[in-house]
Structure 1
Amino acid sequence: MKRFGISLLTGILSSGPVLADGCPAAPDHSGRLKDLVAQIRAATTETQARDLSNQMWALWADAPDEPSQEMLDHGMSRRGAYDFLGALESFNRLVDYCPHYAEGYNQRAFVNYLRHDFAAALIDLDQAIALSPNHVAAISGRALTLLGLNRLDEAREDMARALELNPWLPERGLAAPGGPLAPPGKDI
């Protein structure tokens, strides 16, 4: 029995960082993000807007510490390889370790969205937005998730909010005339 306890403890410790209260606060990029939102709203070309959007992503993906960055990067790598279960495992660990880091929830939501588990995605998107109210990607992701749930009025509201922050979003065509999130009465 003693050997089993030591083996179990060794397995737990070698599986990664101790979860919960060990994660520091996420870096505060709110000022820089506010500047980037202002710049992207004033952008005049798709290329300029894409560069600014990439700068936003770099800030959102700046995890609180090295262990959380490794979990985020590993989850994104697994998602990129279509290993959604592996990605979810990494993002679950990240959210458990850093419950105040919005991007952990946003990335887990994206994997659930890709898996068509819209209800799970919506819960995580709500949490990501609560932690980072102007997280444009989470807001547009919430709109897409609501569209997947056929909650069109709410989806339209979120897409309008996301487009107010970033009028260059790739999803903007969904809110254009004829799109599924176009304002009612504004179809072709």
Structure 2
Amino acid sequence: MTRKEEILDRLFTLLKNARQETRAEVIINQIWQIWLDSGDASLNLMMKEGNEALTAGNYNDAIKIFTEALLYKDSYAEAWNKRATAYFLRGNYKQALEDIKETLKREPRHFGAMAGAAHIYATISDMAALLGSLESLYEINPSYPNLAQNINTLKRKLGRS
């Protein structure tokens, strides 16, 4: 296990046990900092350019850049996650969900990808899949605002309470 993996494991344990939203936010920010640093200067530059395109609303350019990043290093979960975001913003939910699955293969605790999947499932009204995503997210971050309440409400709607 690498030092980075050890740190992430420790942070995820802290996140799961965090009972205050403000404490969870600090831990989440630390996790994001680790995820966003690929450890490779060339890949980090590609990701920076992709994020700039994403922020500017140039989704096709962002997808192209993140695809190049994946061709460079397909094991980098955050490249999959960012491309999923670009696909989502472009309205291509099917491709976004495929990239989210790839993200989660590489980092099963990726709460950003889980939240993205939940957002897509809510958008396309797939309530059963939405519930599954929210429950997965709750396992990682039980202090997420209103998450437990939203899960219980959705369970009642689906007749699963």
Q: Normalising to structure 2: TM-score of the pair?
A: 0.86
**1:55/1:110 CA distance change after superposition, 3 Å:** same
Q: Decide whether the 8 Å contact of 2:43 with 2:72 is kept in 1.
A: yes
2 CA distance for matches of 1:183 and 1:41?
22
Paired amino acid for 2:108? P
Equivalent position of 1:17 in the other structure = none
Which deviates more from structure 2 when the two are superposed, residues 135-144 or residues 123-132? 135-144
1:46 paired to 2:17: no
Give the paired residue count: 158
For 2:155, the equivalent position in structure 1 comes to 183
Q: Select the structure of larger CA radius of gyration.
A: 1
State the match for 2:11 in structure 1. Answer: 36
Give the distance between the partners of 1:49 and 1:57, measured in 2 at CA: 12
4+ residue runs over 4 A deviation: none
Pick aligned residue for 1:136 from 87, 111, 115? 111
The structure whose RCO (Cα within 8 Å, separation 6+) is larger is: 2
Structure 1 unaligned residues grouped into runs of 5+: 1-26
How many percent identity over aligned positions?
A: 24
Counterpart of 2:95, as a letter, is A
Aligned in 2, Cα 1:138/1:28: closer, same or farther, shift over 3 Å?
farther
Segments of structure 2 that go 5 or more residues without pairing to the other structure are none
**Change in 2 beyond 3 A, CA 1:74/1:170:** farther
Q: 1:172 aligns with which of 144, 147, 150?
A: 147
**1:18-29 matches, cutoff 5 A:** 29=4
Instruction: Give the counterpart letter for 2:97 in structure 1.
Output: L
The answer on whether the counterparts of 2:14 and 2:27 sit within 8 Å (CA) in structure 1 is yes
Structure 1 position 58, deviation (Å): 0.8
Q: Cα distance 1:170–1:78, how it changes in 2: closer, same or farther (>3 A)? A: farther
